[in-house]
A = this chain, B = another copy of it.
Amino acid sequence: MKGPNFRNLHRRRYFLSDDEVISLVNAYDTPLWVLSEDNLRMSCQRAKDFPNLYGLTVRYAMKAWSLGAVLKIVDQEGLHIDASSGFEVWRALRSDIAPERIQLTCQEMPEPHELEEFVRLGVKFNASSLHQLQTFGELFPRQSVSIRINPGFGSSKSADTNVGGLTSSFGIWHEYLHTATAIAKSCFLEINGIHFHIGSAVQTKIWKLAVKCVMAFAKEVPTVTRMSLGGGFDVGRMPNDRDMNIVSSGRTLLPLFEQFAADTGRRLHVEIEPGAFIVAHAGALVMRIHDIVDTGEDGFVFYKVDGGMNELLQPADYGMQHHLVTVPRLGHISKPTKQEVVVVGHCCETGDCLTMDLTDTSKLAPRMVLRAEIDDYMVAYGAGGYNDSCGAKDYNSFPTAAVVIKPCQGDFALVRERETLDDILRHERWPY
Distance from A385 Cβ to chain B, minimum over Cβ atoms (Å): 12
Q: How far is the CA of A67 from the CA of B143 in the complex (A)?
A: 46
Contact A350 B295 (CB under 8 A): no
Distance from A244 Cβ to chain B, minimum over Cβ atoms (Å): 19
Closest residue of B by beta carbon distance from A350: B163
Contact B417 A427 (CB under 8 A): yes
Interface string of A392-432 (1 = CB under 8 A from B): 11111111001001000000011111110101111111101
Closest residue of B by beta carbon distance from A303: B169
Contact B107 A347 (CB under 8 A): yes
Counted per complex, copies of this chain come to: 2
Distance from A324 Cβ to chain B, minimum over Cβ atoms (Å): 15
Contact A169 B430 (CB under 8 A): no
Which residues of chain B come closer than 8 Å to A346, judged between CB atoms?
85, 106-108
Interface string of A29-44 (1 = CB under 8 A from B): 0000000000000000
Which residues of chain B come closer than 8 Å to A204, judged between CB atoms?
none
Contact A175 B296 (CB under 8 A): yes
A161 CB within 8 Å of chain B? yes
Q: How far is the CA of A342 from the CA of B170 in the complex (A)?
A: 13
The stretch from A13-21, A52-60, A86-94, A264-272 touching chain B is A86-94
Known interface pairs A317-B317, A405-B432. Does A87 touch B397 (Cβ–Cβ under 8 Å)? Answer: yes
Closest residue of B by beta carbon distance from A393: B393
A326 CB within 8 Å of chain B? no
Q: How far is the CA of A90 from the CA of B348 in the complex (A)?
A: 17
Residue among A88, A108, A423 with the highest chain B CB neighbour number at 10 A: A108
The stretch from A124-132, A184-192, A376-384 touching chain B is A124-132
Contact B428 A169 (CB under 8 A): no
Question: Which residue in B106, B165, B299, B396 is a CB contact (below 8 Å) of A63?
Answer: B396
Chain A interface, DSSP helix/strand/loop, else mixed: loop
Contact B158 A362 (CB under 8 A): yes
Contact A421 B296 (CB under 8 A): no
Contact B199 A350 (CB under 8 A): yes
Distance from A285 Cβ to chain B, minimum over Cβ atoms (Å): 15
Closest residue of B by beta carbon distance from A413: B432
A109 CB within 8 Å of chain B? yes
Contact B293 A63 (CB under 8 A): no
Closest residue of B by beta carbon distance from A163: B350
Known interface pairs A166-B295, A168-B295. Does A351 touch B87 (Cβ–Cβ under 8 Å)? Answer: no
Q: Which 6 pairs across A and B sit closest by C-beta, in order of nearness?
A: A159-B362, A390-B395, A393-B393, A413-B432, A87-B397, A108-B346
